[in-house]
Structure 1
Amino acid sequence: MFIYIYIYIIGPSKMALDFAATYKVLVLGDSNVGKTCIVHRYCDERYYDTYISTIGIDFKQKIINLDGTPIKLQIWDTAGQERFRTLTTAYYRGAMGILLMYDVTSLESFNHLSYWLRNIQENASPDVVKVLAGNKCDATTQRAVYKERGEKLADNFDMAFFEVSCKENINIEEAFLTLARKIREQRNRRASLFDSSQKREGSEVDLSKSKLQETGEAWRCAC
């Protein structure tokens, strides 16, 4: 069996822009919940109403303006089909953020989130940022999962939550921007902890040097 990885890169004029950081983002969820659709809607600003199953991994890049700072998002669209899951788990490593999706018209896709959350826990970084998105919120007459259930699950797992619609372009940008902001906050916290640790280590070294100097001077005086 051959597995293909398709890589899409947005136009050269956009790629020429400088950016302050690169955030790796995975889009996860069952097959047919709209993962590919949301990536195309966000990166290309287009909606495709035909369904094409992702084979392996697809990849797109988008440079965004995050509160005045240019950030490059690497968005990895993963296949939801079981036969590709061994491949896609390899891409969890290094992921800073995960957009976890279900289909509000499919109770099965919502119930299967427990599998994806367990997979994230086993394969991704412990501090990876997660956002939960319930797609197809425009299909009101076909709804099988009410908003309150999505909110409760997101709250239990410390995730931001959005109901989105690729077709009507509802909350797509908001979901990705929230994910990017939370990644930035996580990076800033990590950098702050590292700086504090370095300062403490430096202080301890200086203190030990001072004590050694005093000990040496006392020894010389005793002689």
Structure 2
Amino acid sequence: MSSNYTYDYIIKYIIIGDTGVGKSCLLLQFTDRRFQPAHDLTIGVEFGARFVDVEGKKIKLQIWDTAGQESFRSITRSYYRGAAGALLVYDITRRETFDHLLIWLEDARQHSNSNTTIMLIGNKSDLESKRAVSYAEGEAFAQQHGLFFMETSAKTADNVEESFVDTAKDIYEKIKQGVFDVSNESNGIKVGGHLQSKNVLPLTTDNGNNCC
């Protein structure tokens, strides 16, 4: 049996944000359920994957962890287009990583699908005594720009699962509503073989004028 019968959907994610905010640690905590305090800087792009259950559907999340350095920004941009979900991460103990969010967000919205679900993540919530950005500030930024918001700790795993799964829930809701054209894999979603064989693809409003 083909391996694509083992899932209902594959959804592609991208993790973005400044260097050192914990992007790779979040991915490792989500995929392997472990924390690695000493982590080499990501060079270009790293990859991880895990299955989650959303409303009884088996969904495989394919997650691209990108480098935060400016020198790799052009590489990062090439991954935006094929992502249905994005985690935009800052470090609550480093004000400058929060101040740079707008640059990242503008980049994401310029290069990604207009329907991409974006979750704002304030990471390192375990370092409360070193906090430089309040929860209210993160929440306000998210509300202002139409993002989901969560504070996480890659070290303690607090809200890590929820950040990935809640993003998947929103994407699946868009699939059900026909927001995504799931016949076009460039939107970051691939339909599993048994859904195809049952001909239960969500209805779309594709009239040939979809955005690229």
Measured against the shorter chain, the TM-score band is 0.7 to 0.9
How big is the alpha-carbon RMSD for the aligned residues of Structure 1 and Structure 2?
2.1
The residue type paired with residue 45 of structure 1 is R
Aligned-partner SS, 1:186: helix
Larger Rg: 1
Residues 35/191 of structure 1: CA separation in 2 closer, same or farther (3 Å cut): closer
The residue type paired with residue 163 of structure 1 is E
Residues 178 and 205, structure 2, Cα contact 8 Å, conserved in 1: no
Structure 1 residue 122: Cα displacement: 1.0
Correspondent of 1:155 among 129, 137, 143: 143
Correspondent of 1:36 among 24, 46, 55: 24
Q: How far apart, in 2, do the equivalents of 1:105 and 1:96 lie? A: 29
Structure 1 residue 160: Cα displacement: 1.2
How many pairs align?
185
The C-alpha deviation readout for 1:199-222, integer Å capped at 9, x for no partner, is xxxxxxxxxxxxxxxxxxxxxxxx
Matched, 1:73 2:80: no
Pairs within 5 Å for 1:68-147: 68-147=56-135
Correspondent of 1:187 among 175, 195, 201: 175
TM-score norm. by structure 1 comes to 0.78
Structure 1 residue 196: Cα displacement: 7.3
Structure 1 residue 195: Cα displacement: 4.1
Residues 185/16 of structure 1: CA separation in 2 closer, same or farther (3 Å cut): closer
Q: How far apart, in 2, do the equivalents of 1:138 and 1:197 lie? A: 45
Correspondent of 1:176 among 152, 155, 164: 164
Judge which range, 185-194 or 65-74, deviates more: 185-194
Mind listing any 5+ residue stretches in structure 1 that lack a counterpart? 1-14, 199-223
Q: How far apart, in 1, do the equivalents of 2:5 and 2:52 lie? A: 10
Structure 1 residue 182: Cα displacement: 0.7
The C-alpha deviation readout for 1:165-216, integer Å capped at 9, x for no partner, is 0111100001111000011112222269984758xxxxxxxxxxxxxxxxxx
Q: How far apart, in 1, do the equivalents of 2:78 and 2:29 lie? A: 25
The residue type paired with residue 98 of structure 2 is F
Q: How far apart, in 1, do the equivalents of 2:11 and 2:59 lie? A: 7
Aligned-partner SS, 1:154: helix
Residues 120 and 142, structure 2, Cα contact 8 Å, conserved in 1: yes
Mind listing any 5+ residue stretches in structure 2 that lack a counterpart? 182-201, 207-212
Q: How far apart, in 2, do the equivalents of 1:140 and 1:87 lie? A: 33
Q: How far apart, in 2, do the equivalents of 1:107 and 1:82 lie? A: 18
Residues 195/71 of structure 1: CA separation in 2 closer, same or farther (3 Å cut): closer
Matched, 1:58 2:46: yes
